[in-house]
A = this chain, B = another copy of it.
């Protein structure tokens, strides 16, 4: 049964803290195996990748067949359902338009002393995109990871996707093409992450790796972090719906279940000041579960981690929402914008009754790679900036050095760094 809380109950603070602290993920300890796989790929290159692919994906590869050819991608595209392809193209164009607006501008200015300073943004030179195979192969995720990288201007975007038994999802390949991915390799797991990070004779190394994966992929990303950049380590997904009695309980139930069907570790929470709405939503969830293909997953998630929280007033919602820091926040109340303005922590906010989260998952244009497990307190969804880096620029002439030099010398000396001080004073002596 989902948790039922009421902010009026005496132990609400403790009960809410317990809900917050609930761990929804059992992290498999695969770190030792992953360490060995990475070391083997570093030592033996392609041969190691080919061995692990034979073992884990039951697929025999050679260096020549690791890469998915242009012809295969075209053939896959031709096999896709026309409606799905069209929907994918609409999604791609909207994602591209949204992310174009995230491109940062360089800043260069001259201050009152005449010092020239600022910064400049450049795209990361090569990016690897991990795409899961099997049941969790989502073409929409290919778009969400690849398009921001291409909008950023990354000249080389490399996708890896395991093909267990040789099977690849054609819509995933079609998405790679739409998103202008430059190279696709049919490999996965820790061996694919190692190949991207360290390179092999067939696969040139990249500088950053993004994209979701299983426990092996997550452990491998943690291990190569530092040698290359990585995006966040994705945890189980969640939605928080804040609603008042103006909301349609069937629609809210559908949204809670859309979250719950991802994974048994997903979490769906309703915050409302209407006990009648909460009751109606709960009934609706049960009714809709009856006809849902993934009812087992969604039902388990809802029973294990779902929560209905009744508030005395919606004024109580913002601090609770900030502590939950949900990946997805739907606000379905009479004045959704005003409530949204009072909330600090959320990965994405969906406003009003006609914005189900699934629109944002696919075709809204914003990114669906969002901070999970309360990390919206300190991090953001994927965007163009994740594929760029900033270089600061500083230029002094003799006058500026004369103006700033004494303070730099004083601080260098105060910190016991005489060579720092000297690198300034040696120039001042010449002024």
Contact = CB atoms under 8 A, between A and B. Distances in A.
Interface string A402-417: 0011111011111111
B292 A423 contact: no
B255 A423 contact: yes
Contacts of A139: 411, 414-415
A115 interface: yes
A335 interface: no
Interface in A95-138: 97-98, 101-102, 107, 109, 111, 115-119, 122, 124-125, 135, 138
Nearest to A417: B261
A344 B229 contact: no
A422 interface: yes
A32 interface: no
Contacts of A116: 351
B395 A355 contact: yes
Contact of A392 (B115, B348, B377, B414): B348
Nearest to A101: B107
Given A419-B261, A419-B294, A381 B390 contact: yes
A365 interface: yes
Interface string A191-218: 0000000000000000110000000000
Interface stretch (A4-12, A59-67, A80-88, A159-167): A80-88
A306 interface: no
B396 A359 contact: yes
B364 A394 contact: yes
A228 B371 CA distance: 12
Contacts of A229: 375, 377-379
B420 A355 contact: no
A61 to B, nearest CB: 27
A358 B397 contact: no
Contact of A125 (B111, B251, B345, B359): B345
A208 to B, nearest CB: 4
The range of chain A's interface size is 35 or more
Nearest to A390: B380
A257 B413 CA distance: 15
Nearest to A368: B392
The oligomer's copy count stands at 2
A168 to B, nearest CB: 15
A132 to B, nearest CB: 12
A296 interface: no
Given A86-B407, A361-B408, A377-B207, A258 B394 contact: no
Given A352-B396, A396-B352, A420-B358, A407 B87 contact: yes
A340 interface: yes
Most chain B beta-carbon neighbours within 10 Å: one of A293, A340, A351, A414: A414
Contacts of A395: 336, 350-352, 355
Nearest to A430: B248
A421 interface: yes
Contacts of A422: 254, 257-258, 288, 292
A140 interface: yes
B410 A378 contact: no
Contact of A97 (B111, B340, B366, B390): B111
Given A97-B111, A117-B365, A358-B408, 19 more contacts: A87-B406, A87-B407, A101-B118, A111-B365, A122-B344, A124-B377, A139-B415, A226-B235, A258-B420, A258-B422, A292-B419, A346-B391, A351-B393, A354-B400, A360-B392, A363-B404, A364-B394, A365-B394, A383-B390
List of 10 A-B pairs having minimum Cβ-Cβ separation, nearest first:
A229-B378, A87-B407, A351-B395, A87-B410, A380-B390, A366-B392, A254-B423, A207-B377, A84-B414, A261-B419
